């Protein structure tokens, strides 16, 4: 634990140094902040690269009402706005620039397997009790990557609901599992893009309403058939293999949540 803390401090120090000093520090072997990913430079609008893409995965849940953060590796206005919301939520100066304080918070809430601290692969990979990410329309690696992004959105939803536990009742399903449970043929659960959630401290309507701000383009809850015991959230707009990828579909009539 002390070694990990020291490494994080070194990375923060390197990022805080100006100009040439930064170049000389980051030219040395990377001091990893944790077992998942370490940022080596400040990021802001106009920058691009895999480090931006990694950041976008973690701020996807701070997209704002009816919006999403594309995972395209380009630090544009949407990414800037999402970073500002993340910073504000965690008490960091909301300037839209990802630097030492923003990274330190991300390291704090990130586990070594790249999942946010309040959600796990096992929660999202529980279809029919089988386990594994294969058997769907996408490769296992891509399905698993989709699940990571889903978890980071759930982490933002959880934070917005007062940082109280959210419980995942359903995540990825293989094609055979989806048929077994009677899921629709194009269910987002097949892609790792969906989760069914409940809470003991927030009503289902509170979850459905709040989820509109967390990058979810599919939301189904109370008042929608067979969704009276949980809220379904998904990222269909980001699923390029889905014909409805550019649509938003919200339906929780009992909560006043619709497509408008």
Q: Could you give the residue numbers annotated as active site?
A: 227
**Token digits of residue 89:** 């939520």
Are the beta carbons of 245 and 238 closer than 8 angstroms?
A: yes
Neighbours of 104 (CB within 10 A): 17
For residues 219 and 202, what is the distance between their CA atoms, to the nearest angstrom? 16
Q: E strand or H helix at 178, and its extent?
A: helix 175-180
For residues 38 and 32, what is the distance between their CA atoms, to the nearest angstrom? 5
**Token digits of residue 155:** 């982490």
List the beta bridge partners of residue 250.
219
For residues 207 and 201, what is the distance between their CA atoms, to the nearest angstrom? 10
**Token digits of residue 221:** 């809850």
**Token digits of residue 250:** 């919200």
Are the beta carbons of 199 and 166 closer than 8 angstroms?
A: yes
């Amino acid at each position: 634990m002390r070694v990990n803390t020291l490494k994080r401090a070194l990375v923060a120090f390197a990022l805080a140094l100006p100009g040439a000093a930064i170049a000389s520090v980051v030219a040395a072997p990377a001091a990893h902040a944790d077992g998942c990913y370490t940022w080596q430079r400040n990021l802001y609008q106009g920058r691009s690269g895999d480090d931006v893409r990694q950041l976008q995965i973690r701020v996807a849940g701070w997209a704002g009402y009816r919006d999403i953060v594309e995972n395209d590796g380009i630090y544009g206005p949407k990414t800037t706005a999402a970073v500002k919301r993340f910073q504000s939520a965690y008490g960091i100066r909301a300037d839209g620039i990802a630097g030492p304080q923003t990274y330190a918070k991300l390291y704090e809430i990130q586990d070594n397997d790249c999942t946010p601290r309040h959600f796990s692969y096992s929660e999202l990979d529980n279809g029919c009790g089988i386990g594994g990410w294969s058997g769907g329309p996408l490769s296992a690696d891509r399905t698993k990557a989709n699940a990571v992004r889903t978890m980071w959105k759930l982490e933002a939803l959880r934070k917005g609901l007062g940082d109280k536990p959210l419980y995942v009742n359903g995540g990825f399903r293989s094609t055979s599992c989806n048929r077994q449970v009677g899921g629709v043929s194009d269910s987002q659960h097949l892609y790792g893009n969906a989760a069914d959630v409940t809470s003991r401290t927030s009503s289902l309507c509170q979850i459905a309403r709040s989820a509109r701000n967390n990058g979810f383009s599919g939301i189904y809850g109370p008042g929608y058939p067979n969704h009276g015991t949980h809220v379904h959230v998904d990222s269909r707009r980001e699923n390029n293999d889905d014909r409805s990828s550019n649509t938003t579909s919200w339906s929780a009539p009992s909560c006043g949540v619709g497509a408008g």
